[in-house]
Structure 1
C-alpha cells in the first residue's frame, strides 16, 4: 500500500465547496452500509511493517442486529465473535488483549460535527477487491488526531480500504479487502470455533464515573463511557474512561498500585500509543495509562491532566 503525501492530501483545499457536501454524503453512506449491508470476504491488516490476513463474516438480521465473526488466517490462531459491536467470545492471543465489555460499535458519524475537527474531501476514484470505489480524505485540523484515506464501495458505500496517516502523511495502519462478496453469511459461518471463550461484561459501579476527571482534553473529545475491570497487579477495580471525537478514540485506565513498583512508560505500535504515568492521590499512588490511536504528545498531556473529582474538562 502506498503512503499518501501530506501535500497531495492538502491539495483538497483547491476542491470546490460542493465536494465537501458530497464527502459528507459518502461518510453517511459508509455508516449506513456498516449497519445494513451483509457481506463476507478476506482483508489484509498492516501496521508497524507487519501484515496479517483475516476472514470476516458480517450479517444484519431483520431486527437490525449485527453479527460478525473475524478469523486470522495466518500466524497465531486468533478469532473474535461480536454482536452489535460487543465482543462475545475470543480465542488465541486475543484472550489477553480483549477486555470484558470491550466494544467496536458502528460509528454513528455526524459529518457536521466532524467537520469542526476534520476536513472532508473527495479525492477521486480507485479499485479495491475488484470493485469501483470513491476515495475520501479525512484530514485533521489540529495536531491531536490522525488523518484517514477511505476507499468506499461506489455501489453500497461499504468501506473497502482505509489508510491511517500521521501529520507527515506517513502510513501508520492499513485495512484493505482482498476479496469481498455482498451476501449474507450462513449461520455455520458465523458460529465461532470451539476454542472461542465467552466474555462476561463487567460494567462500572454506579457513581464510578464521578471518581475521576481530566483537566484537559483534546478539542472535540468527550467522555463516552466508563467501564471497570480487575487489576492484574492489585486485584482491585480499575476504572476505564473512554473518550472520542466521533471518529478517533482513546481510553484512560486508572489502576491503584498499593505499593507495587512500576515505572512510567511509553510505547507505540503503528497508530496505537500507550502512555503510563504514576500519580499520587490521597488514597495512594495510581498508574494512569492512556491507550488509543492518537499522537504520543496528546496521550501524554491527557495522562498528566487526570485528577480525582467529578468535573470533566471542557475542551
Structure 2
C-alpha cells in the first residue's frame, strides 16, 4: 500500500515536471517570435499539395518585418509589418501558409485545460538540434500539435497538425534556417504592390452570439468590413483557444440564392448556411483549424442580437 502511494506520488511529480518543461518552451517560443530575427527556407504540405518558400524576418525596436517568397508554382511575394500585410505580388495561395506559426498570447495554464502538454523527445531539423513538444487535445473539438523547437532560439523548425488518429493534416518544416536577418533582406521587390487596408469598424460583442462554442474558445475580435464602398458590410468574428483559431463571417444575402456548404481541406473546415433574421437573410460561414463537425455545430448556433433568427 505504501509502495502504491509512493508510486502515485512519483507519477504526479513527473506529470507536473513534464507540464512545467512544456510550459517553459511555449513561453520561450512566444518571446522568440517578437525578439528573434532569422532567415531560411521551408516546405509546406497540406492535403497532398506541396510548396516551398523562402523567408526573412527582421526585428527592431517596436517593429517586426517579415518577407516571404514562394519558390515554386505561381510567383508570390508578401511583406508583413507587425503581422499586417503591407504589400504583395500574386494571389494569397493559402492564408495558413502566410500565418504559419504566428505569435499568440499563450496562457499556458489555460491551455493545460484543453491540451495535455509534454516534452516528447529530441530531434534534428535543418541541421539544428530541436526539442519535440506534444500538445494533445483533451476533447474532439480541436487538433493536436507536434512542435520541433530550435534548442538555441526556441523558434519552430517543424510543426505538424494532427487529427484524432495522430495522422498529419498539415506539415511545416524548415530545410534551411539561420538566426539573424538584415533590414536589406526584408526590402520588397518592385513587383510587390502596396495592399489597400479595407475600412473596418469595431462591433459590440453583443451584436452576435453563439448558443454553443467549444470549451476554451473565446472571442478575440469582432469587426465589420466592406470589400468596396458599394458592397454590403460583412461581420467578422475571430475566436481562439490560444493555439487553434476559427473565424465566423456573416454576410447579407439580399435576394441571392445559396446552397449550404460543408467541406474539409486538410486541417481547414468550411461550413456555410443561410440564417434568417428580422433584418433579412444572411450567409453564415465558419472557417478554421477545427473538425468539420465542430464548425457545423458553431454555424448552426449563431444568433442575431435580437435573438430573432430561424434555421
Q: What's the TM-score, normalizing by structure 1?
A: 0.87
What is the CA-CA distance between 1:254 and the residue it aligns to?
0.1
- Mind listing any 5+ residue stretches in structure 2 that lack a counterpart? 1-10
Change (3 A) 1:15 1:170: farther
Contact in 2 for aligned 1:20/1:121 (Cα 8 Å): yes
Change (3 A) 1:92 1:142: same
Secondary structure at the aligned position of 1:163 is classed as: strand
Alignment of 1:161-180 (within 5 A): 161-180=158-177
Partner of 1:36: 35
Matches of 2:202 and 2:220, distance apart in 1:
15
**Bigger shift: residues 41-50 or 178-187:** 178-187
Alignment of 1:58-69 (within 5 A): 58-61=57-60, 63-69=61-67
Secondary structure at the aligned position of 1:193 is classed as: coil
Matches of 1:104 and 1:240, distance apart in 2:
22
Higher relative contact order (CA 8 A, sep 6+): 1
Matched, 1:133 2:130: yes
Partner of 1:143: 140
Change (3 A) 1:139 1:193: same
Alignment of 1:281-300 (within 5 A): 281-300=277-296
What is the CA-CA distance between 1:226 and the residue it aligns to?
1.7
Matches of 1:295 and 1:13, distance apart in 2:
32
Change (3 A) 1:158 1:192: same
Deviations 1:210-253 (A, max 9, x none): 32111111101111012333369x82011100001111100000
Contact in 1 for aligned 2:202/2:222 (Cα 8 Å): no
Partner of 1:277: 273
Change (3 A) 1:226 1:206: closer
Partner of 1:17: 16
What is the CA-CA distance between 1:104 and the residue it aligns to?
8.2
Secondary structure at the aligned position of 1:60 is classed as: strand
Partner of 2:26: 27
Change (3 A) 1:97 1:18: closer
Matches of 2:163 and 2:109, distance apart in 1:
23
Change (3 A) 1:274 1:13: farther
Matches of 1:20 and 1:65, distance apart in 2:
32
Contact in 1 for aligned 2:52/2:72 (Cα 8 Å): yes
The Cα RMSD (Å) is 2.4
Matches of 1:261 and 1:186, distance apart in 2:
50
Contact in 2 for aligned 1:204/1:239 (Cα 8 Å): no
Structure whose alpha-carbon radius of gyration is higher: 2
Deviations 1:140-165 (A, max 9, x none): 11111100000001111111100000
Secondary structure at the aligned position of 1:114 is classed as: helix
Q: What's the TM-score, normalizing by structure 2?
A: 0.88
Deviations 1:125-144 (A, max 9, x none): 00000000000001111111
Matches of 2:179 and 2:253, distance apart in 1:
49
Partner of 2:109: 112
Partner of 1:70: 68
Contact in 1 for aligned 2:198/2:226 (Cα 8 Å): no
Q: 2:305 aligns with which of 295, 306, 309?
A: 309
- Mind listing any 5+ residue stretches in structure 1 that lack a counterpart? 1-11
Q: 2:78 aligns with which of 74, 77, 80?
A: 80
Matches of 2:283 and 2:216, distance apart in 1:
25
Matches of 1:306 and 1:13, distance apart in 2:
41
